[in-house]
Structure 1
Amino acid sequence: MTLPAQNLLAEEASPYLRQHSGNPVHWRAWSPAALAEARTLDRPILLSVGYAACHWCHVMAHESFEKDDVAAVMNRLFVNIKVDREERPDIDQIYMAALSSMGEQGGWPLTMFLTPDGKPFWGGTYFPREARYGRPGFIQVMEAVDKAWRDKRPSLNQSADGLITHVEARLAGAHAKGVLDRDTLATLANGIDGMIDRELGGLRGAPKFPNAPFMQTLWLSWLRDGATSHRDAVLASLERMLAGGIYDHVGGGLSRYSTDAEWLVPHFEKMLYDNAQSIRLCNWAYAASGNDLFRIRIEETIDWLLREMCVEGGAFAASLDADSDGEEGLFYTWGREEIEATFGNESALFFKYFTLSAPHGWEGRPILHQTAAQQMQSVADRDLLVPLKEKLLAARKERVRPGRDGKVLTDWNGLMIAAMAETGRFFNRADWIEAAEIAFAHIANAAQDNRLPHSMLGAKKLFPALSSDYAAMTNAAIALFEATGNSKYVDRAGQFAEQLDVWHQDDEKTGYYLTASDSTDVPIRIRGDVDEAIPSATGQIIEALVRLSSITGDLELQERAWKIAEHAAGRAAHQTYGQAGIINACVLMLEPLKLVIVDNPKNPSLVPVANRNPDPRRVDIVVAIGTEMNRPTLPGGILPPTDRPGAWLCTGQVCLPVVREVGDLERLLRRQ
């Protein structure tokens, strides 16, 4: 079959694909029909993968995809397929792994050349239209690929076969199950600790990413083993990051990463997942340190989320673009004269707390950030800063806004829902918990035939869900149960886990594939073991099953989770740093903590202690005094008495003696 000789992206559900619907390129979305067209024409595929907030994706689009002469070459030589990596992380991971296996540096836009049956034989990332930056021009690249395809097709096919086999072994293969060993976390945490930049925070060098899975490894090491240097590395990294230009000091929220080692110059896109994880890390950091900086940043980030990222129905949009009005960072940067015009006589007060910097190589306006001293002072003087920030925010509203990718991604929303439920408990913010419940309901109610969508844009829904979607929503449901006590969320979590088994479990019942069993357009069903900016699908699945089995007391589910964790650990042993999410989840599997609290719902004394001592290893179950029905069981099937307040902390199948005093529970949770 052949598709119409035209661009076919106008009706897609992805804003990123729609951004390219006006290109003269005959783009197709990734689909069985597009792959069949390549086979029918016996023509190689030019695969371009990106996302809506990606600056260099926009650059390549403006330079090449919007130009008639470039499009003419693309249309003549290739079947051109455009993929939104956020809609299809399964496709992105396969071809990014192929590029890495070629010895090339990964990134987006990802530009890959495939055989007509979808096997990669060459690729790169951004290619300029004309040769520069030491890179060949894009037309030159395409013509060279075409010549190689015509002249050396047998050898290219052989290389493609070998490459796809290598990628399949790496992303979908099985290894002998590993031993769930306490030392694995300590070894990984010590290795990460050795890479920490002690002066600037984060990992040494540039660019600098928040790397939440690594930060969680260090945090778990401190919680479990008392490694205070690992706790301090996380606290210092967060402090430096939140002072830098990577943080939006006017409107709240974190950008994707900084291009330098000082956290100063970001790529200005704001992603939902980064901010979900930063909220959670800041919550733990505030609980451990009492530093009001973390509380303030949580409040500012959630304010931004509710102000700018809510879509109709109450779920959260995927991202904000790096660019506005054709320039990266234009919306977020300031000239000194603009600040002075906005504040007049108050300008000196503003510059007491903030600094503008335009470092070498940065071509835009100066970037707003804080020195360490300014950040400390701004926390102390927060009441003075609030009206200053409101003025600047009002001035910024007059600018051309960055584009918003309004699609709702189920797994990213699951991360944010869990973060808001957890912080809502800690700060006693019922409004945050309510917002999380609304977002959860929007996504859960979008299911068809009990199956979640992976992505939604208005009425358009992309099915089927990925394993990461079911895992993230299971964890979100459990977080909402902890925050509300409503058992309907436990029921929902169980339903999501069932769907995960039906559509994603492997034949040996040792793990799960990222894509569903009825997905017909993937060259490989990968497992989803590798962390990206968020923990891997496998890591999230293990966490979800451990937490669900802890809450329900389901020993069969716990045994299944143990088996899955063992096999995941066996695979992770071959790529430890890339699979920290699995190691972190195995820590929960080894020593799952369960806290059952009986308390007075109208005047609780023990519940606030649990709320202000968050621990990612623990699930909390609150029971009202006098409850007879739906009491959770302690290990051994024992029902806790509900005649008076009490707290039972259990590790696996062993519980400590009941605690009834606030001070005793505080000491117990701090020590644990």
Structure 2
Amino acid sequence: MHTNRLIHEKSPYLLQHARNPVDWYPWGPEAFQKARDEDKPIFLSAGYSTCHWCHVMERESFENEAIAAQINRDFVAVKLDREERPDIDRIYMLFVQATTGSGGWPMSVWMTPDLKPFYGGTYFPPDNRYGRPGFGYVLQQLAQAWKEQRDKLISSSISILGELESHSQVQSAGTDIDRGAFDSSYHYFRRTFDTHHGGFGQAPKFPRPSVLDFLFRYSVTAKEEEAREMALTTLREMAKGGMHDQLGGGFHRYSVDERWFVPHFEKMLYDQAQLASSYLEAYQITRDEAFAEVARGIFEYVLRDMTHPEGGFLSAEDADSVIDPANPHEKGEGAFYVWSMDELKQLLGADRALAFAQKYGCRENGNVDNDPHAEFTGKNILYLKDAYPAPEFEKERQVLLAERSKRIRPHLDDKVLASWNGLMISAFAKGAQVLHEPRYLDAATKALAFIQGQLVVDGKLMRRWREGEAAIAGFLDDYAALAQACVDVYEATFDQAHLAFGKTLALSMLELFEDKQNGGFYSTAGDSDELVLRLKEDYDGAEPAGNSVAAGALLRLAEYCELEPLKEAAGDTLAAFASRINQQGVTIPRMLCAVLESQAPKSEVKFSGEAEPLIQEFRKHFRPFTTVHWDRTGEASAMVCEDFVCQPPVTTASDLVKLIG
């Protein structure tokens, strides 16, 4: 067995590669010094532990003795967990996207010993196939180019980095945010909306909950019902699809087809968190119990399978899993989740199996047509042919779920990440309010206490915790997501201690990341000497951008804490992104939500006395721009204040509905 330096790391992804014949180094000064001493370029390979194509490239190339020898001879090999170090990953992913036109993981980048990239790509097969050059050939050509054309490589790298730096500058240009930016963003989503299956654009389809957040809020401010209906249709269709785990709850990463049927089977915590919030808002808007059921399914999945005993939430489950227990080294994508008709008949009985198969789209020979890798031959992905849920098959679902639990589970990435936990804490806090479920509030408060106890070290927030070790100074998105979570937990508990922690995080965020001159926030603190660029994140993709979350969190905290610096920082951030909002608002829909919040008339509900029934009634309604307060003294009542005008207090739920409904 080979053993390299990654054996001493905590990252599950790095540990997966700790016994490769490649002489891997973790990102850090030891690798950089070796590159300088030996005058070799650095080969950076970035990915994450639940990444399917990362596993493929490892099996094909990094476990290949001949290819490993090539890497070890000509390069210094560095492995990076992009979830632990998104700061590094973003910089080199920008380079890959700029030079190749696309990106993804595994990410492969070659750079100088002083960390300037000169060539990059994503997955490389071991030999020429799929229209891609073979990895061995690429290694050979780059080693030769480093020896013979080094000046040209370095000159090109410097030029590209300069362009990236200029394009990544975000600063106030004295431009006001145009109201038309919201309308144009809405019309873009309207043009790209799939009226048959929901979602936006063509396959593959990603959930991108930030878009749904914007559409729900735009529908309120613009009185545009179609915006709301696009989001609701998308959520309904996703709930029916194979991307939604019909047995265990929660959602897979994305759908490879346009109808949410065939998923990429990994499950990420940040998807669960954001989608749970979207389904809760859909439930508030419609009172359709189907949306509540999806949210409950997400929460139950996270509590069951992605929660650390001490309270933190774990990161992800792999797409690949063991096909046959007798051969545990043979894995296939989605093997844990799919079923043959013979299995259904054996477990459910012939008659109920046929009825179940008709409802869930199963066929005798499997229901995945045009399967390019033949991974699902004879197997069925469960999806609903008509509306979700299907309560008449609850017994069968439980039988299959119990049987599935006996299978070998996919790999679990059990690290705890601050930003993803912030998103999930927010979702549980909202779930406790909207669904009136104390267990969800317990999960939110326990996780927040875990973060405070384990990831705050000497007053500073760390990004990652695993096996008792907190490490890596927190980034903007860690501080922003947790500050936001503190507000959500406060609104669920009315405990001022949560606001105090949120205020502490927000003030630290301003100190560490704010661009005082130009507005907005850098993703990283200014004390790092190992980053060739310092970026301001400005795209709400699978995860919302740190600047978008920060702006929203600061606005809400400023309302509760009455701290002018927080409000000013939020305003400066929105001003810094004004041009981007006006020209490309569709790229930052979560920030559009923050702008709508900043422009909304001041709205408050003030509860007094034993007001729990009134509070419960209020929480049934979608009021995204309203702050809530509770003075537990006096008579039970609620006072609604809009735009600095307060109505007389009301004492009944029906009267409250008349004011807020």
Query: 3-state DSSP class of the match of 1:517?
Result: coil
- Structure 1 residues 215 and 65: CA distance shift in structure 2, 3 A: same
In 2: Cα distance, 1:539 partner to 1:361 partner: 38
Q: 2:590 aligns to what?
A: 581
Counterpart AA for 1:669: I
Give yes or no for contact 1:255–1:267 (8 Å, CA) kept in 2. Answer: yes
In 2: Cα distance, 1:655 partner to 1:106 partner: 51
Shift of 1:405: 0.3
Counterpart AA for 2:314: A
User: What is the CA deviation profile of residues 147-190 of structure 1, one whole-angstrom value per residue up to 9, with x for unaligned ones?
Assistant: 22222211111110011112222334535243134332222122
Shift of 1:295: 1.1
Query: 3-state DSSP class of the match of 1:368?
Result: coil
Give yes or no for contact 2:22–2:62 (8 Å, CA) kept in 1. Answer: yes
Q: Does 1:223 align with 2:220?
A: yes
Query: 3-state DSSP class of the match of 2:55?
Result: helix
Give yes or no for contact 1:65–1:71 (8 Å, CA) kept in 2. Answer: yes
In 2: Cα distance, 1:337 partner to 1:108 partner: 36
Query: 3-state DSSP class of the match of 1:102?
Result: helix
Shift of 1:42: 2.1
Shift of 1:143: 0.8
Counterpart AA for 1:400: I
Q: 1:615 aligns to what?
A: 623
Q: Which of 638, 643, 659 matches 1:646?
A: 638
Shift of 1:26: 1.0
Counterpart AA for 1:126: Y
In 1: Cα distance, 2:245 partner to 2:219 partner: 29
Q: Does 1:534 align with 2:540?
A: no
Q: Does 1:368 align with 2:381?
A: yes
Shift of 1:499: 1.2
Q: 1:304 aligns to what?
A: 301
Q: Give structure 2 stretches of 5+ with no counterpart.
A: 323-330
In 1: Cα distance, 2:276 partner to 2:609 partner: 29
Q: Which of 283, 286, 289 matches 2:283?
A: 286
In 2: Cα distance, 1:130 partner to 1:45 partner: 21
Q: 1:508 aligns to what?
A: 517
Q: 2:4 aligns to what?
A: 7
- Structure 1 residues 80 and 556: CA distance shift in structure 2, 3 A: closer
Query: 3-state DSSP class of the match of 1:327?
Result: strand
Give yes or no for contact 2:181–2:583 (8 Å, CA) kept in 1. Answer: no
Shift of 1:105: 1.4
Counterpart AA for 1:354: Y
Q: Which of 353, 357, 379 matches 2:359?
A: 353
Q: 1:249 aligns to what?
A: 246
Q: 1:137 aligns to what?
A: 134
In 2: Cα distance, 1:177 partner to 1:254 partner: 42
Give yes or no for contact 1:598–1:625 (8 Å, CA) kept in 2. Answer: no
Give yes or no for contact 1:606–1:647 (8 Å, CA) kept in 2. Answer: no
- Structure 1 residues 592 and 17: CA distance shift in structure 2, 3 A: farther
Q: Which moved more, 1:404-413 or 1:283-292?
A: 283-292
User: What is the CA deviation profile of residues 180-238 of structure 1, one whole-angstrom value per residue up to 9, with x for unaligned ones?
Assistant: 34332222122112111111111121100001111222111112111111111111111
User: What is the CA deviation profile of residues 20-56 of structure 1, one whole-angstrom value per residue up to 9, with x for unaligned ones?
Assistant: 1011111111113322322332211111111111101
- Structure 1 residues 618 and 335: CA distance shift in structure 2, 3 A: same
Q: Does 1:480 align with 2:480?
A: no
Give yes or no for contact 2:43–2:78 (8 Å, CA) kept in 1. Answer: yes
Q: 2:415 aligns to what?
A: 407
- Structure 1 residues 531 and 612: CA distance shift in structure 2, 3 A: same
Query: 3-state DSSP class of the match of 1:493?
Result: helix
In 2: Cα distance, 1:524 partner to 1:6 partner: 33
Give yes or no for contact 1:276–1:419 (8 Å, CA) kept in 2. Answer: yes
In 1: Cα distance, 2:48 partner to 2:659 partner: 46
Counterpart AA for 1:364: E
Give yes or no for contact 1:475–1:493 (8 Å, CA) kept in 2. Answer: yes
Q: 1:344 aligns to what?
A: 349
Q: 2:572 aligns to what?
A: 563
Give yes or no for contact 1:505–1:513 (8 Å, CA) kept in 2. Answer: yes
Shift of 1:509: 6.5
- Structure 1 residues 126 and 361: CA distance shift in structure 2, 3 A: same
In 1: Cα distance, 2:26 partner to 2:541 partner: 23
Q: 1:431 aligns to what?
A: 439
How high is the TM-score relative to the length of structure 2?
Answer: 0.93
Q: Which of 636, 641, 662 matches 2:653?
A: 662
- Structure 1 residues 574 and 72: CA distance shift in structure 2, 3 A: farther
1:158-307 correspondence runs (5 A): 158-307=155-304
Query: 3-state DSSP class of the match of 2:108?
Result: strand
Shift of 1:64: 0.4
Counterpart AA for 2:586: Y
Query: 3-state DSSP class of the match of 1:194?
Result: helix
In 1: Cα distance, 2:301 partner to 2:159 partner: 47
- Structure 1 residues 228 and 574: CA distance shift in structure 2, 3 A: closer
In 2: Cα distance, 1:596 partner to 1:262 partner: 41
Q: Does 1:396 align with 2:404?
A: yes
Shift of 1:559: 2.8
User: What is the CA deviation profile of residues 336-393 of structure 1, one whole-angstrom value per residue up to 9, with x for unaligned ones?
Assistant: 11111111143234234312221212523333333442x35x44xx2x3322111101
- Structure 1 residues 575 and 35: CA distance shift in structure 2, 3 A: farther
Give yes or no for contact 2:639–2:646 (8 Å, CA) kept in 1. Answer: no
In 2: Cα distance, 1:485 partner to 1:506 partner: 32
Counterpart AA for 1:579: I
In 2: Cα distance, 1:516 partner to 1:469 partner: 12
Shift of 1:569: 2.4
- Structure 1 residues 556 and 57: CA distance shift in structure 2, 3 A: closer
Shift of 1:265: 0.9
Q: Which moved more, 1:549-558 or 1:400-409?
A: 549-558
Q: Which of 453, 457, 463 matches 1:445?
A: 453
Give yes or no for contact 2:555–2:570 (8 Å, CA) kept in 1. Answer: yes
Q: 1:420 aligns to what?
A: 428
Counterpart AA for 1:338: E
Shift of 1:303: 0.9
Counterpart AA for 1:310: T
- Structure 1 residues 573 and 49: CA distance shift in structure 2, 3 A: farther
Shift of 1:312: 3.1
Shift of 1:514: 0.9
In 2: Cα distance, 1:45 partner to 1:575 partner: 36
Give yes or no for contact 2:170–2:577 (8 Å, CA) kept in 1. Answer: no
In 2: Cα distance, 1:461 partner to 1:567 partner: 33
Shift of 1:264: 0.9
User: What is the CA deviation profile of residues 553-579 of structure 1, one whole-angstrom value per residue up to 9, with x for unaligned ones?
Assistant: 334432332122211223444543322
Q: 1:633 aligns to what?
A: none
Shift of 1:659: 4.9
Q: 2:319 aligns to what?
A: 322
Counterpart AA for 1:657: Q
Give yes or no for contact 1:511–1:567 (8 Å, CA) kept in 2. Answer: yes
Counterpart AA for 2:383: Q
Give yes or no for contact 1:467–1:515 (8 Å, CA) kept in 2. Answer: yes
Query: 3-state DSSP class of the match of 1:463?
Result: strand
Shift of 1:646: 2.3
Q: Which of 461, 471, 493 matches 2:470?
A: 461
Give yes or no for contact 1:599–1:606 (8 Å, CA) kept in 2. Answer: no
In 1: Cα distance, 2:399 partner to 2:13 partner: 33
RMSD: 1.9
Q: Give structure 1 stretches of 5+ with no counterpart.
A: 627-642
User: What is the CA deviation profile of residues 267-293 of structure 1, one whole-angstrom value per residue up to 9, with x for unaligned ones?
Assistant: 100000001111000001111122222
Q: 2:149 aligns to what?
A: 152
- Structure 1 residues 531 and 132: CA distance shift in structure 2, 3 A: same
